[in-house]
Structure 1
Amino acid sequence: MAEIGQIARKVRSKNAGPFWLTIDIFCGDRAAYDRIRLGLATEAVARAFHMPHDMIKRFEIADLNVVKFSLPRPSVQGTRADRDMHGAAWAVLVEEMDIP
């Protein structure tokens, strides 16, 4: 088992508008891409964010060795309940996930 952050070159999260977040996993090479693509289930990401897995969109971009997830923000950007205005802190939840 290894953390995604130890395998990937970079894990980044950001806003995808005021209602969505995007988490990008830049794998660096094909071996890391395949390991993360096959080892990281969308359901595991859903559990980490406490939401139904059908709310998460998954994109696998083989030409760039990137796995990407888009999901609804827990609160609208900029509202009083928003704890991360830019959406940058969410990447850590994925970065620390273990995969085989």
Structure 2
Amino acid sequence: MRLMEMARVVRSKNAGPLHLTFDIMLETEADYERCLAAPGLRAEPIAKIYSVSANAVAITPYPTARAIKITLPRHEAAGAPGDRDVYGAQQHAPLLEIEV
């Protein structure tokens, strides 16, 4: 099953001008646990998707909210020349196809 079929919400946004953050929110405890255990939602595969170092990928689980937050550095500062998504709101799409 792909993340887009399981998650209630998958979104991205800026976390300051130099980082992106991704929120993944799940409907059930079982879905949350499955996503936490999914190999595709670990630092290494996410780093590969976004062309950053795995050491720069922070994954923070929020069990009470059944949510997972992923934060990583932007390739250019928000609003800098060459930035095509000043709000970081369109960066979550590659995560949607991850198998969970």
Shorter-chain TM-score: which interval? over 0.9
1:20 corresponding residue in structure 2? 19
Query: Map of 1:14-53 to 2, 5 A cutoff?
Result: 14-39=13-38, 40-53=41-54
Segments of 5+ residues of structure 2 without an aligned counterpart are none
What TM-score, normalized by structure 2, do the two folds share?
Answer: 0.93
Shift of 1:22: 0.4
SS at match of 1:25: strand
Segments of 5+ residues of structure 1 without an aligned counterpart are none
CA distance in 2, matches of 1:88, 1:97: 18
Cα deviation per residue 1:53-80 (whole Å; 9 max; x = unaligned)? 1001110000100011011111100011
Q: Runs of 4 or more off by more than 4 Å in structure 1? A: none
Query: Map of 1:1-100 to 2, 5 A cutoff?
Result: 2-39=1-38, 40-99=41-100
SS at match of 2:90: helix
Count of equivalent residues: 98
